[in-house]
Amino acid sequence: METRKVQVTGGSTYTVSLPKSWATDNGVSAGTTVEFYPENDSLLLTPQSETDRQEGTLEITDLEGERLTRAVMTMYVSGFDIIRLEAGRITTDQRSAIRSATQSLVGVEVLEETTDSVVIQDLLDSAELSIVNAVSRMRLIARSMLEDAVTALVENDDDIAQDVIERDDDVDRLWLVVSRIFRATLRSPRAAEELGVPREDCFDYHSSARQLERVADHAAKISNLAFKLDEIPEDVADALVELHGDASDILEKAMDALVAEESEEATRLGHAALESVLEIDEHTRRIDDMLRDLDPVQAQSLGLIVDSLSRSADYGGNIAETALQKAAPRP
């Protein structure tokens, strides 16, 4: 850490010198334009960027299949707007993996293809992205997935179960969008200013989005188990519907707390959600007792479903804790 004393020039202008090593490393010299971003009692300084589009190149000769798909997604989340994928010769399987990756990302399309390179580009205007809207959309989809998964189970409806599984991809795409936005705010104060959301709040939304993504995963898991199960006893079905209602209520209270504008309202809802989580364990124990009289194979599958619903409630509790931290006074 280096320190500088603030000086006054011209009788009214405050000036402070920049560390030479930092200026040299970041290409700052006489005549360079820098940007200032006020953030509470801090003032962030950064050299003015000459381009709004970040380009990156990835050598993919030794990458294929899932590894290549993940690599492309990683470049996207890291903030690259234009991604150039290069190899001596790009194979058909590699092109298929690249297409799979672009289809899993919001606003990304293949811009150019040759025998030795593929260029993909994010076509979304960063100014149009909203971390709040993305998380709100995740909330709606994840909650409806969980409800429909239980419906598919108790009504033995494979079509609904399949629809839930397919919607999991929508949540995954939104999760990657949230991760991309969040990482952008960590790298650049300009991104946070354009977003209009404090960086601490971005962290809270990113943490909560991860919980929602897990809820969606468990909804898909319940739907996959529903395919294997035929009709289940009515008393067990009723108990599972009730357990889902409790878990869904916790998620709603927690998300309402996260987006509440008044800290008092956020605190009230956050505590209410956490108190409800404590009641879930007793509820799940009652259902576990009911499963002991069933066929072992059926009981095992239903036990996994009970666990998924319980975990979804726990994820709601995690969101509630984040909401309480967000609502707490800041130093």
Give me the DSSP letters along 161-181. HHHHHHHHHHHHHHHHHHHHH
Label residue 75 by pLDDT band (50, 70, 90): very high
Question: How high is the pLDDT of residue 218?
Answer: 97
Label residue 271 by pLDDT band (50, 70, 90): very high
Question: How high is the pLDDT of residue 33?
Answer: 76
Average pLDDT of 217-246? 94
- Is the pLDDT score of 180 beyond 80? yes
Q: How far apart are CA 231 and CA 235, in angstroms?
A: 12
Average pLDDT of 315-329? 95
Q: What is the pLDDT of residues 60-71, one digit of tens each?
A: 999 989 999 999
Question: How high is the pLDDT of residue 125?
Answer: 65
Sign of dihedral through CA atoms 139, 144, 149, 153?
Answer: positive
Report the chain's mean pLDDT, rounded to a whole number: 89
- Is the pLDDT score of 50 beyond 70? no
Q: What is the pLDDT of residues 25-34, one digit of tens each?
A: 777 777 777 7
Label residue 151 by pLDDT band (50, 70, 90): very high
Label residue 163 by pLDDT band (50, 70, 90): very high
Q: How far apart are CA 16 and CA 136, in angstroms?
A: 43
- Is the pLDDT score of 48 beyond 80? no
- Is the pLDDT score of 126 beyond 60? no
Q: Are 71 and 60 in contact (CB under 8 A)?
A: yes
Question: How high is the pLDDT of residue 127?
Answer: 56
Question: How high is the pLDDT of residue 51?
Answer: 60
Average pLDDT of 74-98? 92
Question: How high is the pLDDT of residue 147?
Answer: 97
Q: Are 309 and 240 in contact (CB under 8 A)?
A: yes
Residue carrying structure tokens 């991860």: 210
Query: Which position has the higher pLDDT, 248 or 106?
Result: 248
Query: Which position has the higher pLDDT, 181 or 124?
Result: 181
Question: How high is the pLDDT of residue 54?
Answer: 83
Q: How far apart are CA 205 and CA 265, in angstroms?
A: 18
- Is the pLDDT score of 316 beyond 90? yes
**Residue from 169, 108, 106, 165 nearest 133 by CA:** 106
Strands 34-39 and 108-113, by their bridges, are unpaired
Reported residue count of the chain is 331
How many CB atoms sit inside 10 A of residue 80's CB?
Answer: 21
Lowest mean pLDDT among 7-11, 38-42, 116-120: 38-42
